[in-house]
Amino acid sequence: MIAIVDYGMGNVRSLQNAFEYLGADVIITSDIEELEASERLVLPGVGAFGDAMEAIRQRGLQDTLTRQAMELKKPVLGICLGMQLFARSSCEHGQHTGLGWLDADIRRLEVQRPLKVPHVGWNDLHFPPDDWLFKGLRPGHANFYFVHSYHMVCHDAGNLVATADYGGPVTAVVRAGNLVAAQFHPEKSQDNGLKMLENWVAWKP
């Protein structure tokens, strides 16, 4: 069973539809017992970092999520803002503390004209051709859909799996043990996104 964490800030229905299309058993929940009983967790997110962390704390989810991810080593997939929450901190609208699962921080995208912030639209990923997460996809032929104004700066280069080019390299996918996270929206990325989700569902860390 895959549990999509519902803390009030995410495209949970479209994610549920994507996993169900792949034949996965999936629920949307903020119930601690259901989260603990699940085999995998998905942490989505749309909106501001500080608001998301406050919503997670208000629902009493932070300790449970951290236990599942860091102690029990349950596979966790972060998507868009959900990925950014894995970091130690963010400077979005002030300074905020994240879940701290990765040695990383969130900073505003800085680009030169004619590029604009937010980064919205389709972009190619650069990734190792033999990486399991992108099995069935080819570098240079793998577009994914991005919507973000802030990006993750990894302090451990070993966590960086894939980048996109938007006025320079932008962190697109990170991984550390049982943790996987993507800045883009696989559920909005058509066949490429579905293939990536299928690979994650089949993955056994």
From residue 124, how far is each of 23, 78, 140, 164, 176 by CA, in Å? 27, 19, 6, 6, 22
Instruction: Decide: 1 and 25 in contact? Cβ < 8 Å.
Output: yes
Q: How far apart are CA 5 and CA 41, in angstroms?
A: 7
- What the block records as the tokens of 196 is 């990536």
Instruction: Decide: 134 and 155 in contact? Cβ < 8 Å.
Output: no
Catalytic site positions: 80, 185, 187
Please list the helix, strand and coil fractions of the chain in percent, rounded to the nearest 5, in that order: 30, 30, 40
Phi, psi of 109 (to 5 degrees): -65, 135
